[in-house]
Chain A
Amino acid sequence: MKYLSILISLIILGACSRGTVVVPEFEAIESDRIVLLEEMTGVSCPNCPKGTAEIDAIKELYGDQVIPIGIHGFFLSWPTKESEFDFRNDFAKELEMNLAPGTSKPAALFNRRTPSGESDRVVESPDLWSGYVAEQLSIAPKVGIEVELAYEETDRLLSIDVGILGLESIPSSTNISVMILENNIIDAQEDLNDIIEEFDHNHVLRTMLTPYDGERLASSIEKGGVLNRAYSFEVPEDEHLWKVDDLEVVVFVHLSENLGEVLQAALQKVER
């Protein structure tokens, strides 16, 4: 019994050996890193407005250091009974199927890296997203990306010139992905109470100018090495969608294998 008492005392002492955690104030992070936040979402997903609110708060905290992308793929992405538009497209479906198969929603990836303390790169709790953005900002970018856009009003042709600079030597194969996003689409969205008929949908992935898993950029990148790519896209004419002023072009470089880690990203708004 004596030994048992000692053991119990040790357990209790051990359990209480760590004390109190004081929650620090929020501090901005200075970084050249841009965090690509790919959100798996859907208009028939009652919890997804929570993801939207979290992204808005993250943008408020970190501004242009974060590029959110709304991926309306499969699960709960089918239009509601009140929807006018269907945001699903083949690129979104492929990305959801390959990045976050069967995820509950909302869920997000941060530069396609597995956050520390997580077993998967898909994080389903929006409450945690802000912390993982901060974690990614502390990682120095391995490449720099410059994007220049030119839009021809007459033929609705968007030209995209991309320059990539190796900030350090990358021995692995890399891909480049180019996405077109659209903001300010007013359409239905389920939430925990109702179907909101006039929800402001932002960062909606509308299409990609590369395959969903990107196109090959280089088998390796030297420090100081420069790579250039050019793309063009004819913006479709539509009464309600594809509003040029609401379009954004996102370019990011990532490791080729298994839609690998995003090394850096850049965003440019389309301007007339």
Chain B
Amino acid sequence: MTAQDEDRKVRVNGAFQGTLNYFIKDERIGAANIPQYEGMPLGADAWLSVNADFGKWRGGLRFDFFHNSNLLNPSASYTARGLGIWFLETTYKKFDFRIGSIYNQIGSGTIYRAYEERPLLIDNALQGAQIEYNINDNWQTTFFAGRQRYLFSNYGGWVYGGKVEGFMSVGKEGQIKLFPGLGFAGKQLSDSSVDKLVSVLRNYVDDERIEEFSYNSQAVSLYNSLNYKSISWYLEVAIKLPEVFLDPNNETTKITGTLTPGRFVKESGSVIYTTISYAKKGLGITLEAKRTKNFDFRIDPTLLLNNGLIGFLPPMNHITTYRLTGRYNPATQLTSELAFQADLKYRLSKKLLLNLNTSNISTLQNSLLYREFFLDLKYKPSRKLDTHIGIQRQIYNQSVYEGKPKNITPIVRTWTPYVDVLYKFTRKKSIKIESQFMSTDEDYGSWIYLLAEYGMAPHWRFELSGMYNIIPNPGNPNIPEGAGEKILYPTAGIYYQWKQSRYGLRFVKQVEGVVCTGGVCRLEPAFSGFKFEVNSIF
């Protein structure tokens, strides 16, 4: 077959992801009082993607289906279906063109990032057009414009931007490699957003009044990666020109004289983000820092939570997969944050790997938001045995991250030791045991978590776990009615893999908590019920 024949061939591939939830009311853990527990027990979310290639052309469609879904708002029911995204792209000489739904980012995403996080039902693809121009082998430029997707529609308004990125090597024998970039992103408010903003601002008292604002606002970002031998350094500086945004740390004076939290202000913003890492055999060190001031950059300033954000600010804590060490997550603060993180990986011997991590997050006024110390020791004496033992210390400002009353919500302080053992009986059969204990006097009190997972490769995996509120904190006024007792939150699951498809059936009881995916977080209520999951590619 010649290359020309190959070009004439249409290649089709796709993927299906679906979850069926059956909600079972359990007032004791707070899994109640939302539609799914009060008469609409069956919920489903599904995505079917189909992509095709034909020569220089590539296109794709994604159908989305939601029925009584709790993904959009974990406390509500969302039902809709239709064409989620579509795209068509091609190349012509030095140009790459794409129309439809576009995912892209500038730098680390600070001023612009279009991305998808299905567990939180975030998909803010740009609905528009993008052109990439390859200036030469080392430099390329990209421009895009369109509307930001929201569910099966968009937020209105326009988002536009561009970037120039390249590669240079300098120094003796070109040992220093630079990957510089310069980007800008702008937005134009929709008439509806302007009307909403006017309706708010015209009620402001004189001292807080904003006389005028613009339909347009822009942000620019300068970034660079530098690689020299074992050192890698990334630096990004982003500036947002003055625009109106909601500052949650400010207060509005109502005409009645009452002060209420949150005020729209017109100010500029900035983010400085840097990470430097050093790696050589057996040793890896990474240092990260981020300073954020007034960087709430949204397509509509009146939107709240994760809605309408144009950029993405990376989280600055250790990402962990364990249930209890991942219970308290510091969501990125958009208006005032100073964060540092250090990570060390050191191979003590052939069998022992040490990981130390620490992070510290505060406001720009030096009020502590989050601090973490994490130690993990990996011991792998043979192919059969892989163990982790570790401990985490967290200091977590729950009232800021979860919006709970300041004076009755103490800072949560935890110690969480854990042991994780994976033993392979044979090449196909393995067992994994996880045990964690979280000691804390705050929030729900102390927890113990045990998990056993038995794998029969390549098809079956069985999971049984339980999270138990071993020393509850019934005096906490923040926890739901009925909670605050010694409650077991069990999970049992069966997973089956067949060719390129994976099926899972789980019974889950899950405590309320902050759930983060890809650095984006939200507070989710307790869950009780069955989940049937399918993931398939074709």
Q: Which residues of A contact B (CB under 8 A)?
A: 1, 4, 7-8, 11, 14-16, 18-26, 46-47, 49-50, 53-54, 56-57, 60-61, 74-75, 78, 80-82, 97, 101-104, 116-117, 119, 124-128, 130-132, 134, 190-195
Contacts and interface: CB of A to CB of B under 8 A. Distances in A.
Interface string B205-248: 00001111111100000000000000000000000000000100
A44 to B, nearest CB: 8
A128 B203 contact: no
A233 B77 CA distance: 36
A18 B255 contact: no
A61 to B, nearest CB: 7
B403 interface: yes
A104 B73 contact: yes
B254 A54 contact: yes
B196 A131 contact: yes
Nearest to B35: A101
A82 to B, nearest CB: 8
Given A4-B131, A22-B211, A134 B405 contact: no
B260 to A, nearest CB: 5
21 contacts: A4-B131, A7-B143, A11-B143, A21-B214, A56-B256, A60-B256, A74-B32, A78-B480, A78-B481, A81-B475, A101-B35, A102-B70, A102-B73, A103-B75, A117-B192, A117-B195, A119-B153, A125-B304, A131-B196, A193-B407, A194-B408
B25 to A, nearest CB: 12
A78 to B, nearest CB: 4
B477 interface: yes
B348 interface: no
Contacts, number: 167
A127 B302 contact: yes
A128 B201 CA distance: 10
B176 to A, nearest CB: 29
A23 B215 contact: no
Contact of B216 (A15, A134, A191): A15
B122 interface: no
Most buried by B among A81, A132, A192: A192
Contacts of A78: 480-481
A102 B258 contact: no
B75 A23 contact: no
B37 to A, nearest CB: 10
B138 interface: no
A74 B143 CA distance: 48
Interface in B146-167: 153, 156, 158, 160, 162
Interface string B177-204: 0000000001010101111111111110
B359 to A, nearest CB: 26
Contact of B260 (A50, A74, A130): A50
A23 B192 CA distance: 14
Nearest to B199: A131
Given A56-B256, A117-B192, A193-B405, A75 B200 contact: no
Interface of B: 32-35, 38, 70, 73-77, 95, 131, 133, 141, 143, 145, 153, 156, 158, 160, 162, 186, 188, 190, 192-203, 209-216, 246, 252, 254-256, 258-262, 264, 302, 304, 399, 403-408, 475, 477, 480-481
Contact of A195 (B214, B261, B405): B405
A7 B131 contact: yes
Contacts of B160: 11, 14-15
Contacts of B260: 49-50, 53-54, 126
Contacts of A192: 261, 399, 403, 405-406
Contact of A57 (B34, B203, B264, B407): B203
A47 B523 CA distance: 15
A53 B260 CA distance: 7
Nearest to A127: B200
A81 B210 CA distance: 41
Contacts of B186: 15
Nearest to B254: A57
A8 B75 CA distance: 43
B209 to A, nearest CB: 7
Contact of A74 (B33, B73, B145): B33
Contacts of A81: 475, 477
Contacts of B75: 75, 102-104
B198 A24 contact: yes
Given A74-B33, A127-B262, A117 B196 contact: yes
Contacts of A54: 254, 260
Residue of B133, B399, B408 with highest tally of chain A CB at under 10 A: B408
Nearest to B135: A1
Contacts of B211: 22-23
A131 B35 CA distance: 29
Contacts of B38: 97
A272 B90 CA distance: 79
Among A1, A46, A49, which residue has the most Cβ atoms of chain B within 10 A? A46
B254 A20 contact: no
Nearest to B201: A23
B302 A128 contact: yes
Nearest to A22: B212
Given A15-B145, A82-B477, A117-B192, 4 more contacts: A11-B143, A21-B214, A116-B195, A131-B200
Contacts of A18: 188, 215-216
A80 B477 contact: yes
A1 B141 CA distance: 11
B192 A116 contact: yes
Pick the most buried of B70, B195, B209, B213: most chain A CB atoms within 10 A of its CB: B195
B73 A50 contact: no
A195 B477 contact: yes
Contact of A46 (B162, B216, B405): B405
Contacts of A82: 477
